[in-house]
A and B are shown apart, each in its own frame.
Chain A
Amino acid sequence: EAGVTQFPSHSVIEKGQTVTLRCDPISGHDNLYWYRRVMGKEIKFLLHFVKESKQDESGMPNNRFLAERTGGTYSTLKVQPAELEDSGVYFCASSQAYPSDTEAFFGQGTRLTVV
């Protein structure tokens, strides 16, 4: 069974440009999460989807970030326009809806560098 996959693995863009990150969760996982790790800091929660609905987006830093999950399958995270402080590693994770004593499976992450 395929795990959580993220594209691209690395992205280097200039300040002001747009970047779109993609996450393909494990098939059948209703929960999809985005996290971000800025260098030297902890991994922080950004957003949680249940199927195609945003369950919790309290971690989204500002309105330059837009996440979608059309059809409840893969998700995209768009940063527009990118700023220097957006650099970091963006992780995606997915988990089953039930049972509750389950765990999230993480992708390899996308390393975003804004120059």
Chain B
Amino acid sequence: AQSVTQPDIHITVSEGASLELRCNYSYGATPYLFWYVQSPGQGLQLLLKYFSGDTLVQGIKGFEAEFKRSQSSFNLRKPSVHWSDAAEYFCAVGATSGNTPLVFGKGTRLSVIA
């Protein structure tokens, strides 16, 4: 069965600092991988996705993620965090295609301090 682990429940970073949110997945084949963000009062917004090809994917808002098959990881990074990045971030995996039900991690809440 598929599973997603986000080991960090809550992370606090200073504005302007770099960020890395961890995500590990368990799935037998090459998965479809996603990062979503939920800002307060908003729905889930797709930051980026990996289906195949280049293992470093660029997303919106300056985020990127790297797929590492050997480590079963898909960590999210941003070189310089802005206060507006404070939100909850979810890593998710899909099975055979992008339009099959997703399995989510528990989410990582990001706080940004001045």
Q: For the complex, count residues of B whose C-beta is within 8 A of A.
A: 27
- In the complex, chain A residues whose CB is within 8 Å of the CB of B106: 41-42
Whether A43 and B98, one on each chain, are in contact in the complex, defined by CB atoms closer than 8 angstroms, is: no
Bound Cα distance A42, B2 (Å) = 13
Q: For the complex, count residues of A whose C-beta is within 8 A of B.
A: 28
Q: How far is the CB of A92 from chain B (nearest CB, A)?
A: 9
Whether A96 and B104, one on each chain, are in contact in the complex, defined by CB atoms closer than 8 angstroms, is: no
Whether B98 and A95, one on each chain, are in contact in the complex, defined by CB atoms closer than 8 angstroms, is: yes
Binding stretch for chain B, among A13-21, A66-74, A78-86, A105-113: A105-113
- Most chain A CB neighbours (cut-off 10 Å) among B32, B96, B100: B100
Select which of A35, A100, A106 is within 8 A of B98 by beta carbon: A100
- In the complex, chain A residues whose CB is within 8 Å of the CB of B67: none
- In the complex, chain A residues whose CB is within 8 Å of the CB of B96: 100
Q: How far is the CB of B16 from chain A (nearest CB, A)?
A: 30
Bound Cα distance A106, B104 (Å) = 13
Whether A91 and B107, one on each chain, are in contact in the complex, defined by CB atoms closer than 8 angstroms, is: no
The residue on A at minimum CB distance from B44 is A106
- In the complex, chain B residues whose CB is within 8 Å of the CB of A33: 101-102
Q: Which residues of A contact B (CB under 8 A)?
A: 3-4, 31, 33, 35, 41-45, 48, 56, 59, 91, 93, 95-97, 100-109
3 residue pairs, one from A and one from B, having the closest CB atoms: A100-B97, A106-B44, A108-B43
